[in-house]
């Protein structure tokens, strides 16, 4: 559901250069699948939305077509008067709508057939099929949303975990927009002072270069902090790929099952059971993970197993984090050590000692103590250590303490924020070399422009098209 209250007043700077699109667009705004979803919504936006609604919808009794009131009735094929579906119609007249245009939503029955038919009728009545993201693009062009809010809507739709959804909501509330706008305005203040000196140095009081430098450095530090925070948020939104690796029979598949809380992978006491990669999607403490179970790594003549082991190496190389499992009852061996050395530098690694229950019950075949470099000790059989493992894994991935995290940046936003920070570094370099004022302004202007591209205040049509093309149809 879109918030229906009037949005913030249009902000100067964006939207004005591009004329609002004149046509009326339509799309199915909800996910559709045969047999699923009790309600589906066909959404129309544009000057003809109400007229098209009146052509295809017959309200029961004497209900008035008032804005922001729900009408009950039927969608009817105007060419045959056939009743196509029983439906509700919601009319939202401009500007109090998501796009700030006239919007009509037809809430019809879910599934596939009725809603498709309703869409065909509104298209036949004069609407045009909306392109991906076109509703949001209109909302942006009409000043209803800045670009960060529009992109946060996508993040909300695609959020795979509670924390990612919370960050998306903060973005929809304008958290990122406010932070970027504040920084951009601070830079604009400095730019104005500098440019005034370039043109009218002799008419103005002397400029305190040290104060300008201090301010630029402060904004740069804030941008760098924002990029770091945003990277954490990005990992949270996109999720982590975690590979479970180890020698055969140490309990990798059992651990996958334990963490997924279901019987996903085949477990036997036969070393070499898992032959192929097996993925399981789960959410751990609000963080989405893709766990990858792998074939136990050892030297073997079995060609099938060898292929599986090759894939294990591939999974190890592609992972964002690695759980290296070993059997506590057998102790840490040279083979385990060799596996540890395969984990690429910089990839978070957790050495997990499994089968703790065997030690406790004295069934350890080697009589070995839980030696070895275990970061955490678990029993995939009893579930002991699950929580500790989850907490430590997230901590090693920099996602342990998320209390201060307030923004998530997507790749576009991150590149622009990092680019602005780099431009400020160049500007500070010019200052350090005591170059004339206009040398300071070149990169400073670049930084201002990049921040404006994040919010959409300075952005070309080509960039906009690319941004909105990532949206789904009906959004």
Closest distance of CB 221 from Mg ion, Å: 47
- Of 3-11, 65-73, 251-259, 357-365, which part binds Mg ion (CB under 5 A)? 251-259
138 binds, among Mg ion, ligand GTP, none (CB under 5 to 8 A by kind): none
Closest distance of CB 243 from Mg ion, Å: 13
Nearest in space to 315 (alpha carbons), one of 368, 359, 279: 279
**Max CA separation in the chain (angstroms):** 89
Q: How far is CA 434 from the centre of its chain?
A: 43
What 3-state DSSP class applies to 72? strand
Which residue's beta carbon is nearest to the bound ligand GTP? 296
Six token digits for residue 406: 């307030």
Helix/strand/coil (H/E/C) assignment for every residue in 131-189: CCCHHHHHHHHCCCCCHHHHHHHHHHHHCCCHHHHHHHHHHHCCHHHHHHHHHHHHHHH
Closest distance of CB 250 from ligand GTP, Å: 5
d(CA 157, CA 155) in angstroms, rounded, equals 6
Six token digits for residue 268: 């036997």
Using the minimum distance from each CB to ligand GTP, give the nearer residue, 202 or 269. Answer: 269
Using the minimum distance from each CB to ligand GTP, give the nearer residue, 161 or 385. Answer: 385
Using the minimum distance from each CB to Mg ion, give the nearer residue, 276 or 438. Answer: 276
Total site size for Mg ion, rule CB under 5 A: 4
Q: Are 106 and 129 in contact (CB under 8 A)?
A: no
294 is an interface residue for Mg ion by CB under 5 A: no
Closest distance of CB 250 from Mg ion, Å: 9
Using the minimum distance from each CB to ligand GTP, give the nearer residue, 137 or 379. Answer: 379
Six token digits for residue 62: 């004497």
d(CA 66, CA 304) in angstroms, rounded, equals 68
Angle, alpha carbons 53-55-61 (nearest 5°): 80
Nearest in space to 363 (alpha carbons), one of 334, 330, 332: 330
253 is an interface residue for Mg ion by CB under 5 A: yes
Closest distance of CB 144 from ligand GTP, Å: 52
Q: Based on the number of CB atoms within 10 Å of its own CB, is 449 exposed (0-12), middle (13-18) or buried (19 or more)?
A: middle
Closest distance of CB 315 from ligand GTP, Å: 13
Closest distance of CB 318 from ligand GTP, Å: 19
Peptide bond before residue 95 is cis, with ω within 30 degrees of 0: yes
136 binds, among Mg ion, ligand GTP, none (CB under 5 to 8 A by kind): none
The footprint of ligand GTP (CB under 6 A) covers: 246, 248-254, 267-269, 271-274, 295-296, 354-355, 357-358, 379-381
274 is an interface residue for Mg ion by CB under 5 A: yes
Using the minimum distance from each CB to ligand GTP, give the nearer residue, 97 or 294. Answer: 294
Using the minimum distance from each CB to Mg ion, give the nearer residue, 180 or 350. Answer: 350
381 binds, among Mg ion, ligand GTP, none (CB under 5 to 8 A by kind): ligand GTP
Binding site for Mg ion (CB under 5 A): 252-253, 273-274
């Amino acid at each position: 559901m879109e918030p229906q209250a009037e949005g913030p007043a249009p902000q100067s700077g964006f939207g004005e250069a591009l004329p609002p699109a004149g046509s009326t667009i339509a799309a199915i705004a909800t996910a559709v699948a045969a047999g699923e979803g009790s309600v589906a919504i066909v959404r129309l936006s544009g000057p003809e939305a109400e007229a098209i609604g009146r052509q295809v919808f017959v309200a029961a009794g004497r209900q008035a077509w008032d804005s922001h009131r729900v009408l009950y009735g039927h969608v009817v094929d105007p060419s045959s008067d056939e009743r196509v579906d029983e439906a509700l119609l919601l009319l939202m007249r401009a500007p109090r709508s998501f796009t700030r245009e006239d919007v009509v939503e037809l809430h019809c029955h879910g599934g596939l057939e009725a809603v498709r038919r309703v869409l065909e009728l509104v298209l036949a009545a004069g609407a045009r099929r909306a392109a991906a993201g076109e509703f949001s693009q209109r909302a942006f062009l009409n000043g209803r949303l800045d670009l960060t809010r529009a992109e946060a809507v996508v993040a909300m739709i695609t959020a795979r975990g509670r924390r990612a959804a919370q960050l998306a909501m903060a973005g929809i509330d304008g958290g990122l927009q406010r932070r970027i706008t504040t920084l951009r305005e601070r830079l604009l203040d400095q730019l104005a002072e500098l440019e005034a000196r370039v043109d009218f140095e002799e008419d103005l009081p002397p400029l305190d270069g040290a104060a300008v430098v201090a301010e630029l450095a402060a904004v740069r530090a804030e941008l760098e902090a924002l990029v770091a925070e945003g990277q954490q948020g990005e990992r949270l939104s996109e999720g982590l790929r975690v590979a479970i690796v180890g020698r055969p029979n140490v309990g990798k598949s059992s651990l996958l099952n334990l963490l997924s809380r279901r019987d996903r992978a085949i477990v036997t006491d036969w070393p070499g059971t898992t032959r192929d990669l097996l993925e399981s999607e789960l959410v751990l403490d609000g963080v989405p993970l893709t766990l990858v179970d792998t074939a136990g790594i050892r030297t073997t003549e079995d060609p099938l197993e060898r292929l599986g082991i090759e894939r294990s190496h591939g999974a190890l190389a592609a992972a964002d984090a690695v759980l290296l499992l070993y059997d506590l009852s057998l102790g840490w061996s040279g083979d385990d050590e060799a596996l540890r050395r395969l984990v690429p530098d910089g990839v978070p690694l957790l050495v997990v000692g499994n089968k703790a229950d065997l030690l406790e019950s004295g069934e350890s075949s080697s009589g070995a103590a839980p030696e070895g470099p275990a970061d955490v000790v678990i029993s995939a059989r009893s579930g002991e250590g699950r929580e500790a493992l989850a907490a430590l894994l997230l901590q090693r991935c920099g996602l342990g303490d998320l209390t201060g995290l307030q923004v998530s940046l997507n790749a576009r936003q991150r590149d622009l924020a990092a680019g602005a920070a780099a431009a400020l570094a160049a500007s500070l370099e010019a200052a350090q070399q005591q170059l004339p004022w206009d040398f300071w302004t070149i990169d400073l202007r670049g930084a201002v422009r990049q921040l404006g591209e994040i919010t959409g205040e300075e952005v070309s049509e080509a960039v906009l098209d690319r941004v909105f093309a990532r949206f789904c149809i009906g959004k």
